[in-house]
Amino acid sequence: MSKLTVEEAKQFRVGPDFQLADVDPTATPDVSDVDDVFHDYDDDLDDLQRRLFANSRVGNDNAGSVLLVLQGMDTSGKGGIIRHVIGETMDLQGVHVKAFGRPTEEEASHDFLWRFYEHLPEPGQISVFDRSHYEDVLVQRVKQMAPPEEIERRYGAIVEFENEIAARGTKIIKVMPHISRDFQAQNLKERIERADKHWKYNAGDIEDRKLWSQFMAAYQIALTRTSTDVAPWYCIPSDNKKYCRSVIKALLFDALDSLDLEWPEPDFDPEVELERLANS
């Protein structure tokens, strides 16, 4: 029973030669039974996030923070990642989850990045974006909801935006949970048939599905042009949901670990306080 290593998780990092078409959504490289590795990082994530949160509570503005961006096709498992990776290993007091839908009228009247600022993590926090500013170069590109030159401008604007976030001490992890078109059909079928899943189904999902190859082309461009050292993309095979979640745990572990978090030093003298306590 071998651990899924950080290096193995990083094989999914999008580099300059990345070809989305070469990623097999059904693969589970380096893992024979995903149940063997799924909990590898749970204790570490718990410990590291407590440290991060503790630092924020004592007002350490240099504690650092983490931004996890989840951007994938319908039914690719974004909600499950939030629930099973974040919810089950971390203290929700230090976590901010934001799902981004269609922009409101006010939001649409500002630059496309405007609405994301207020959801960036504070020092000591972890923010999770369920969909993100990438909608503005994915669905908006595919459905021509903005002029080509505006779409073109956005790639650069996103890179600048993310550089700015990283410069504040935020570790950025961007994940595309990559599923096959067949797996999506299976998932949509469940949403149509099951009463407890109806609410997740949208008639418009079928329209998007018909544009699958256009979406894949838009992802190919977006991922390649915006995967940077400070804000890398990971395109993770996700027909096996638990595999994807295991990889994300390893990536989160690596990001938190790189913050080098110590427990905050006490701002009191333990001997003195024990004495005060004894006399209280």
Q: Give me the residues that bind a copy of itself (CB under 8 A), please.
A: 50-51, 54-55, 57-58, 79, 82-83, 86-88, 90-93, 95, 97, 99, 130, 185, 188-189, 192-193, 195-196, 198-201, 203, 206, 209-210, 263-266, 268, 270, 273-274, 276-277, 280
CB nearer to a copy of itself: give 152 or 185. 185
Helix (H) or strand (E) holding 130: strand 126-130
Phi, psi of 139 (to 5 degrees): -55, -35
| 130, β-bridge pairs | 70, 99
What is the rounded distance in angstroms from the CA atom of residue 214 to the CA atom of residue 211?
5
Please say which residue, 20 or 54, places its beta carbon nearer to a copy of itself. Answer: 54
Does an H or E element contain 178, and which? strand 170-178
In whole angstroms, the minimum distance from the beta carbon of 201 to a copy of itself comes to 7
Please count the residues of the chain: 280
> In sequence order, what are the beta bridge partners of 96?
127
Output the smallest distance, CB 105 to a copy of itself, in A: 16
Q: How far is the CB of 140 from a copy of itself (least distance, A)?
A: 22
For the beta carbon of residue 58, count every other beta carbon within 10 angstroms.
Answer: 13
Nearer CB in complex with a copy of itself: 3/276: 276
Minimum gap (Å) between residue 202 Cβ and a copy of itself? 8
Q: Which burial class, exposed, middle or buried, applies to 236 when counting CB atoms under 10 A from its CB (0-12, 13-18, 19+)?
A: buried
The smaller minimum CB distance to a copy of itself, of residues 196 and 229, is found at 196
| 8 vs 205, beta carbon nearer a copy of itself | 205
Q: Residue 187 in contact with residue 75, Cβ under 8 Å?
A: yes
Rounded to a whole number of angstroms, the minimum distance from the CB of residue 124 to a copy of itself is 11
Nearer to a copy of itself, 235 or 244 (CB): 244
Minimum Å distance from CB 63 to a copy of itself?
A: 11
- Give me 19's structure tokens: 């070809």
Q: Write the DSSP assignment of 192-231 as a string of letters.
A: HH-TTTGGG--THHHHHHHTHHHHHHHHHHHHHHH--SSS
Would you say 54 or 139 has its CB closer to a copy of itself? 54
Cβ 256 to a copy of itself shortest distance, Å = 15
Amino acid at 161: F
